[in-house]
Amino acid sequence: MPAAFAGIGLAVTPTFPSTVTVGQTGIPASLQILNGSTPPENTGNVTLNTINLVPACGTGTAVGPTGDCPVANADPGVLQISSTATGEAGTACAGKTFTVTVSDPATGQVTFTPIGGPVVLTPPGTMNSVCVIDFTFDVLKSPPNAASMPGPNSSQVIVLADVNATSNVTGLPSNPQNGTTPVVINKAQPSATTTATPTARVGGTISDTAHLVGATGPAPAPTGTLTFSLFNNAGCTGGPVFVSTVAVSGAGDYLSGPFAPTSPGTYSWVVAYSGDVNNAPFTSGCGDAGEVSTVAQAAPTITTTASAPVAAGGTISDSAVLAGGSNPTGTITFTVFGPNNPTCTGAPLGTSTVTAVGNGTYLSGPFTAAGAGTYNFVAVYSGDVNNASVTSACGAAGEAVTVTQALPTIVTTASAPVAAGGTISDSAVLAGGFAPTGTITFTVFGPNNPTCTGAPLGTSTVTVTGNGTYP
């Protein structure tokens, strides 16, 4: 409010924007001094001796002969006045340049000094009875000793101006003439762009990166914390499944900790900046661009190794190594095809199913190879809610077993010695065959033909119906 007094009456009016923001620079402001003297001084000129301004004070009451702010309420370094000011055209100080110097560092008070001589205000009501000084200022920080707190992210200071003058009528100096105006200072408003891991699988990890952008200088660099909250749904409902908080030390990139999702689905990130004394807090929106991570089932692999070659009638089996799953459950089914079925089509020779209880090695049951040839195995992991199914390829390396013919043995025993004219015979024990059929033919040579050459004495054929003794 401007003040006017009897005698040398000066109305001092600082004009500042009602609201400014930390970090703003080059903001226009002015200081008006009006000669409102009363008799007898209203008949003469008034010379301005000192023109002072306290940019940020926690009280509207001036103290001392210079109209300064009480030190306990002062906020030096909050608003920085430009180093020069200019008299406004059409006023008593038109064309004058003023230097602006700090006259009291404890309170931040500055003094406007006209270059080339003082400013003279003519009697009230005349054209040159008012001086308007134009200047700019920067907002360096929030005030620690604010006059009031209009909101959680703003505070109010009082701009305090005073002027001393001397009348050429009486030659006496005036008392300090004071004027004030309130200014609300908003905290700077940082922002952030965020980029979350776009896709992952169960068993992997996801994270979020926030690129924090602070207000440009002279606003102080942001401090405080960034908190990353992760929700396992698109609407960010319920409690977060993961929270990561990092300290902020200026603008730049900040990375959350890693999170290992245990189930597939859509995961949504929310980033909250705590704010500090000079910077307002903010929270990103659920589902903001770049803040969704899509998690798919884990993709396990299955590697199989069939058993070694055997003869017909032996048993064959398969071994499967399940790897890369996320605590996989379900089943592994082994199917064997053959003999000589390289495409694994048609009815299989048999199947064997085992329960999966994690990554590891699993064995099929044994299969009996009924005939010679090549047998192929196929292994299928069923998958579960967190793991995709996987099937080994028919004919994959290591998945074929060669089955050879069985190698039976035959052991013979001739009949006991007899006299000429008696009968002789032979007995054969067939062993080691796989359900052998066919015939056994006995041929007798002699007499006295140890090499069994030439025409035999006779032959005898019997039908084979399995391993055993045949006479």
CB 255 within 8 A of CB 209: yes
125's tokens: 């009501």
What are the Cα distances from residue 284, in Å, to 21, 194, 227, 270, 281? 21, 9, 11, 6, 10
State the Cα–Cα distance between residues 391 and 201, nearest whole angstrom: 19
Q: Which amino acid is at 217?
A: G
Low-confidence ranges of the chain (pLDDT < 50): 1-6
Would you state the pLDDT for residue 2?
Answer: 41
Say what the pTM is.
Answer: 0.78
Tens-digit pLDDT profile for residues 70-85: 999 999 999 999 999 9
Would you state the pLDDT for residue 41?
Answer: 81
**Which 8-state DSSP code applies to residue 106?**
T
Which H, E and C letters describe 287-354, residue by residue? CCCCCEEEEECECCEEEEEECCCEECCCEECEEEEEECCCCCCCEEEEEEECCCCCCCCCCCCEEEEE
State the Cα–Cα distance between residues 357 and 365, nearest whole angstrom: 17
Would you state the pLDDT for residue 172?
Answer: 67
Would you state the pLDDT for residue 395?
Answer: 86
Return the closest-CA partner of residue 157 out of 274, 88, 69, 262: 69
Between the CA atoms of 162, 167, 170 and 173, what dihedral angle is there, to the nearest 10 degrees? 30
pLDDT averaged over every residue in the chain: 92
